[in-house]
């Protein structure tokens, strides 16, 4: 009788552990679309006299970037091709600008494994993405080089923050 009891407890424990693993994965599975690309500076790239920190609202680039997570532990990305982005700060001003060229007819993508670290984070290509309220956020530290207006001198670096929304 004791063996039957221990076997039942073991089966229940395995079932609980399996369910908790599925639950952890399910919060990330699906498609996430890039909603915010920011370096914490305001831009008026589209010259509508409205300065925004979200470059997706200003530049006609990266507005179709997605991350798609599968239950099998794979993540796929799709994004239009951006050949070059040069960030600069206007001389004698607190305003920033960018030179950017996008090709919406060409797509770049990647596929990789991801690791579900916990309910609040996932690891993709050695980069931690935080999950909170149906958003997925990562920060690339000092990833953006800012030049002076004539693009001859680096004057600062900034973090790049990407925010995705679950679709």
pTM: 0.79
- What whole-number distance in Å separates Cα of residue 22 and Cα of residue 95? 47
Q: In terms of CATH architecture, what is 29-166? A: Beta Barrel (2.40)
Closest CA to 33 of 62, 54, 53: 62
Residue 140 and residue 159 in contact, taking contact as beta carbons nearer than 8 Å: yes
Q: Would you state the pLDDT for residue 63? A: 64
| CA distances to 19, 31, 137, 163 from 26, in Å | 11, 12, 17, 19
Q: What is the pLDDT of residues 146-167, one digit of tens each?
A: 999 999 999 999 999 999 999 9
Q: Are 80 and 64 in contact (CB under 8 A)?
A: yes
pLDDT at 127: 94
């Amino acid at each position: 009788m004791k063996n039957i009891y221990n076997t039942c407890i073991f089966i229940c424990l395995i079932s609980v552990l399996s369910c908790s693993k599925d639950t952890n994965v399910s919060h990330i599975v699906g498609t996430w679309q890039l909603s915010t690309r920011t370096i914490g500076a305001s831009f008026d790239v589209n010259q509508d006299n409205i300065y925004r920190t979200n470059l997706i609202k200003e530049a006609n680039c990266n507005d179709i970037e997605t991350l798609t997570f599968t239950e099998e532990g794979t993540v796929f990305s799709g994004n239009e091709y951006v050949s070059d982005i040069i960030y600069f700060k206007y001389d004698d001003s607190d305003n920033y600008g960018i030179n950017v060229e996008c090709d919406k007819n060409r797509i770049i993508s990647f596929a990789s494994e991801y690791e579900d670290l916990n309910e609040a984070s996932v690891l993709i290509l050695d980069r931690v993405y935080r999950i909170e309220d149906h958003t997925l956020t990562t920060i690339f530290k000092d990833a953006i080089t800012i030049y002076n207006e004539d693009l001859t001198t680096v004057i600062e670096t900034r973090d790049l923050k990407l925010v995705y929304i679950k679709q």
